[in-house]
A and B are shown apart, each in its own frame.
Chain A
Amino acid sequence: MGSPQGGRLVRDTARTGDQWFRLLLAAMAAAVPFVIGTMVVALIAAAWPAILRFGARFLITTTWDPVASQFGVLSFVYGTVVSSALALLIAVPLGLGVSIFLSELVPGWLRTPISFLVELLAAIPSVVIGLWGIFVLVPWVRTTAEPALQASLGFLPLFRGPPLGLGLLTAGLILSVMVVPFVVAVSTAVMRAVPTAQREAAQALGATRWETTRTAVLPYARSGILGAIFLALARALGETMAVTMVIGNVAQIRVSLFAPAYTIPAVIANEFAEATGDLYVAALVYAGLVLLVVTVAMNALARLLVNRVVQGPSFIAE
């Protein structure tokens, strides 16, 4: 960018000024990887008693008993994974539909308002979505959605049991609302980055708009779309407030989607401030550490996939 040779003609003071300035800016930029590193180290240190005591068993046992000092997060992992999977099952097809609409089909003047509205959905605080969940979505799921599912698909064990409203199904629904903007933002950016020549080539062969999308745009954008999915998954795994408010917060593993469950972020949110005893706190931090490692890995993978399609920093993670 700005040529560093510029200072060479000027006095030496200017050059040292440039060097110090550059060093200061570089230090600020380097703060980000430094913070991530510190975060990992700090959480490992705080979780150390629990890591020593439980090791990998922590992840595959279900006993969560602060009184007996026995901690295993399997039931929280189950709740987190199932609710997130459910969210992706809903959000990915819908989000891709919106992205195709935005990048391939919509007239230009409508594109900005629609993508702005989708961004607004992402901007609504999680606690507000959760509030709406408690007072609108949960009653609706209890009185309408779950009885209907039970009546039509009740032969599946997934849709059995009393319709409570609070549970995995509602958590999945609310999570899908929260992650769909990310699917849309990233996959639209990826599809828009597909070279126009690709589309023109398909059209020159007589393809309709949908055929162009299916044969030229989607294959080209494939890895980026996969990245968008991973990004949304990482968001869903770590989403705290809205899920805490609607999932019921019962540490159990049940096949039924109507059953209440619990997630890792929710247990940290509910129990951390009141946790007494070093091992209890350490166990909760250990759970957070697991979450951190998984989401960092997913985000890194997602970025690499997206960057294969979208070159340069032309889209913001929002």
Chain B
Amino acid sequence: MDPRYRLRRGMDQGMTLVCFLCTLLVLTPLVLVLTFLAQTGLSALNWDFFTKLPGAAGEPGGGMANAITGTLILIGLAGCLGIPIGVLGGTFLSEYPQTQVSRISRFAADVMNGIPSIVMGLFAYVLIVLPLRHFSALAGGVALGVMLIPTVMRTTEEVVRLVPQSVREAALALGIPQWKTTLRVVLPTATAGIVTGIMIALARIAGETAPLLFTAFGNRFWNRSILQPIAALPLQIFAYAISPFDDWHRQAWAGALVLVAIVLVVNVGARYATSRQVRLR
């Protein structure tokens, strides 16, 4: 064989190997983090963790019941703000794609996606905590809700765009006004995809900590009003992780395991749902 060709082929195989090793290396942290959580978190998980309030500082025992509920409440609040705006806005981007508003909003959504989450927290602080003069679940919900908007909007746009044009034309041909066509025909057709996008976006904000530090703030007890500070799972994990107590470290691992389990289940579930949908099409 021509030695120069042999060299070129060697280069080709060498680079293939390098790229393969890069892939292994990039996936290593994922494996390491998951095994770390499985090893440490599982042993720290118990019934108390889900049912009890946090214990006093330094004393073993107690759980994260209020933090788990708090995260659910915050996600609910965020969803009330982010989902309607995201879905309707995304529908606009898809149904009127060439308008000036669409072009600007699409670009702005991509840019907004990259705004650091801590800045979202500052925004909610200035907007809500300052006027109301105290930390509140509402402020945390707004911070997370604002973060939902661009992701939900862009995924909604993508899936609504996949609805075949003939479906819209069929509805319009029956004399149905366009707004009704969009609401009753186009959006229902795309529901599965829209819901999937929403689920992934919610799973993402469920783990956000930075925007909650000075909005939701955290709370060692049950929250009684959305105008009061509220606990959240990521906040609790952070507080316990940097604490000096071994028992709190164990609980942080347990909390992280629960959080990651939720995120993984939602992501895998969403992936499964969309892959089935695509196959059906």
Q: Which residues of A contact B (CB under 8 A)?
A: 1-4, 6-7, 9-10, 14-15, 17-18, 20-22, 24-26, 28-33, 35-36, 38-39, 42-43, 45-46, 93-98, 100-102, 105, 114, 116-121, 123-132, 134-136, 177, 180, 184, 208-211, 213, 231, 234-235, 237-241, 245, 265, 268-269, 272-273, 284-285, 288, 291-292, 295-296, 298-300, 302-303, 313, 316-318
One of B84, B209, B259 near A241 (C-beta < 8 A): B209
B79 interface residue (CB < 8 Å to A): no
Contacts A30-B105, A39-B119 given; 19 further ones with Cβ under 8 A? A4-B178, A6-B178, A20-B179, A29-B93, A31-B85, A32-B89, A42-B127, A43-B122, A93-B22, A94-B26, A96-B22, A97-B21, A121-B30, A127-B234, A130-B238, A180-B26, A211-B8, A211-B12, A317-B150
Kindly identify, within residues 211 to 257 of chain B, every residue whose CB is under 8 Å from any CB belonging to chain A.
Answer: 213-214, 217, 234, 237-238, 241-242, 249, 252-253, 256
Contact A2 B123 (CB under 8 A): no
Give 11 CB contacts A-B under 8 Å.
A2-B182, A2-B186, A29-B102, A35-B146, A39-B119, A42-B123, A97-B21, A123-B267, A125-B208, A288-B122, A313-B161
Q: Are A273 and B26 in contact (CB under 8 A)?
A: no
Whether B32 lies near A132 (C-beta < 8 A) is: yes
Question: Is there an interface contact between A128 and B116, defined as CB atoms closer than 8 Å?
Answer: no
Are the C-beta atoms of A313 and B104 separated by less than 8 Å?
no
Nearest Cβ distance between residue A205 and chain B, in whole angstroms? Answer: 12
Q: Interface centre among A24, A32, A97, A285, by most B CB within 10 Å?
A: A32
Q: Which residue of A lies closest to B9 (CB)?
A: A208
Q: How far is the CA of A37 from the CA of B99 in the complex (A)?
A: 20
Known: A26-B96, A128-B207, A131-B241. A32 touches B26 (CB 8 A): no
Contact of B12 with A209 in the complex, beta carbons under 8 Å: yes
User: Which residues of chain A are near B20, meaning CB under 8 Å?
Assistant: 101, 105
Query: Which residues of chain B are within 8 angstroms of A292 by Cβ–Cβ distance?
Result: 115-116, 119
* Cα–Cα, bound, A243→B151 (Å): 24
State which of B104, B126, B149, B242 has its C-beta within 8 Å of the C-beta of A285. Answer: B126
Do B112 and A32 have beta carbons less than 8 Å apart? Answer: yes
Instruction: Let me know if B16 and A184 touch, CB within 8 A.
Output: no
For B260-272 the 0/1 string (1 means CB < 8 A from A) is 1001100100010
Is B136 an interface residue when CB atoms closer than 8 A count as contact? no
A43 to chain B, nearest CB (A): 6
Q: Are B116 and A125 in contact (CB under 8 A)?
A: no
Docked pose: A3 CA to B172 CA in angstroms: 9
B241 touches A245 (CB 8 A): yes
Q: Are B23 and A316 in contact, with the CB atoms below 8 A?
A: no
Q: Residues of B within 8 Å of A, CB-based: how many? A: 108
B157 contact set on A, CB distance < 8 A: 313
The answer to whether B108 touches A33 (Cβ under 8 A) is yes
Assess whether B66 is interfacial by the CB under 8 Å rule: no
Question: Main SS of the interface on chain B?
Answer: helix
Given contacts A4-B178, A32-B108, A317-B154, contact A25 B91 (CB under 8 A): yes
Residue interface mask B13-32, A partner, CB < 8 A = 1 = 00110111111011101101
Point out the residues of chain B lying under 8 angstroms from A6, CB to CB.
172, 177-178, 181
B23 pairs with A265, CB closer than 8 A: no
A317 nearest in chain B by CB position? B113
In the complex, the chain B residue whose C-beta lies closest to that of A284 is B122
Residue of B nearest to A128 (CB): B256
Q: Give the residue of B25, B178, B259 whose beta carbon is less than 8 angstroms from that of A7.
A: B178
B-chain residues with CB within 8 Å of residue A121 when the two chains form the complex: 26-27, 29-30
The verdict on B88 contacting chain A, using a C-beta distance below 8 Å, is: yes
Question: Is B153 part of the contact surface with A, judged by Cβ < 8 Å?
Answer: yes
Q: Judge whether B36 and A132 touch: CB under 8 Å.
A: yes
Instruction: A119 to B260: give the CA distance in the assembly, Å.
Output: 13
B263 contact set on A, CB distance < 8 A: 123-125
From B15, B151, B155, B177, contact of A210 by CB (8 A):
B15
Contact: B117 with A240, CB < 8 Å?
A: yes
Q: Is the CB of B22 within 8 A of A94?
A: yes
Tell me if B25 and A33 are in contact (CB < 8 A): no
Q: How distant is A290 from chain B, measured CB to nearest CB, in Å?
A: 10
List residues of B (87-113) whose CB comes within 8 Å of A's CBs.
88-97, 99, 101-102, 104-113
Q: How far, in Å, is A88 (CB) from chain B's closest CB?
A: 14
* Across-interface contacts of B150 in A (CB, < 8 A): 32, 317
Please determine whether A17 and B116 come into contact, CB atoms closer than 8 angstroms.
Answer: no
Nearest CB of chain A from residue B180's CB, rounded to whole Å: 8
The distance from the CB of A235 to the nearest CB of chain B, in whole angstroms, is 7
Task: Specify which of A21, A22, A100, A208 is in contact with B19 (CB 8 Å cutoff).
Answer: A100
Q: From residue 1 to 16 of chain B, which have CB atoms closer than 8 A to chain A? A: 8-9, 11-12, 15-16
B42 within 8 A of A: no
- Chain B residue with minimal CB distance to A25? B92
Complex CA distance for A28 and B214, rounded to whole angstroms: 27
B153 touching A32 by the CB < 8 A rule? yes
How near does chain B come to A6, taking the closest CB pair, in angstroms?
A: 4
